[in-house]
Every structure is written in C-alpha cells, then in structure tokens.
Amino acid sequence: MSRTAFFRGFKVVAVVAAVSLLILALLTRPVAETRMALVFAALVLVATVLRVDAGDAAVGFEAAVVFGALLIFHSPAVALIAVLAGTGAHALYDAAARRKWELEPFYNAAQLALSYSLAGLLTTGHSNSMNKRALRILGSVAESVGAFM
C-alpha cells in the first residue's frame, strides 16, 4: 500500500468517525442543547470565514467560540456539533463555489471537530478513572495550544 493511499484512507476514516459521532450526538443530546449547538455552529462558520490562511500557518478564531460553548454547556458533544457543522458548512460552500470537490477541507473540518471535542472531553472531566483536575488542566492547555496553531 502506498503512502498516499494509506493517508487518503486515514482521512476517510477521520471524516466517517466525525460524522458518525455527530449523528450520535444529534440523536442523544436534548433538543434545546442541539439548537444552541447549531447557534454556536453559525458562530464557528463566521469564525471560519474570518480565518487567515498564510501558507502552512493559519489563524482561526473558532477556539473562542468552542471554549465559550464548553463553559456554558460542559458537554463535548456541543463542541463536536458546533465545530463540525460550522467548518463542514464552510467546506461545502467553498467546494460548491469553486466547483472542485476535494477531501482535504472535509478532513480538516473533521480533524478540528474531533480535536476540539477531545479537548472538551478533557476539560469537562467526563472520566471517572483519572483525576478530574488534571483532566481539566490538560483540556485547557490543549484548547490554548489549539488556539495558537
């Protein structure tokens, strides 16, 4: 298996995993929380439109929106819904406007959503097996690092 085919398969698995978790979150979370997550998704969409890309480096503002959603709801599912819906909508719009469908923008959206939901999982401390304070500190550090990347 070539390196390109392996990495393409990895991208497909990441997108499928993110979409599967999105569907699970939409089916299991309360309707009011899902509506608010979609409001945050609109804010993430605006933040994604305002994103500054310069070669390999990019400055995004979606971390502030996700951090606010996590502070309000204490749910990593809200972070997943907001980020995947917002960045996914931007990827769909961009692909439709350019009339060129590529996997890369959707992979970036899935990767961003999975990383923010993992940081949300660590921040909100939804694990009984580890020290919750350490998880929250690790999640806050992960969000801070993500905001600067």
Measure the CA–CA gap between 99 and 78, rounded to whole angstroms: 31
Beta-carbon contacts of residue 45 (< 8 Å; ≥ 6 apart): 85, 86, 87, 89, 90
The pTM for the full model equals 0.79
Phi/psi for 121 (5° steps) reads -65, -40
Q: Name the E strands within the chain.
A: 52-54, 57-59
* Residue ranges covered by each domain of the chain: 3-148
Q: What is the pLDDT of residues 66-75, one digit of tens each?
A: 888 888 888 8
Q: What is the pLDDT of residues 68-116, one digit of tens each?
A: 888 888 888 899 999 999 999 999 998 999 998 888 889 989 998 988 8
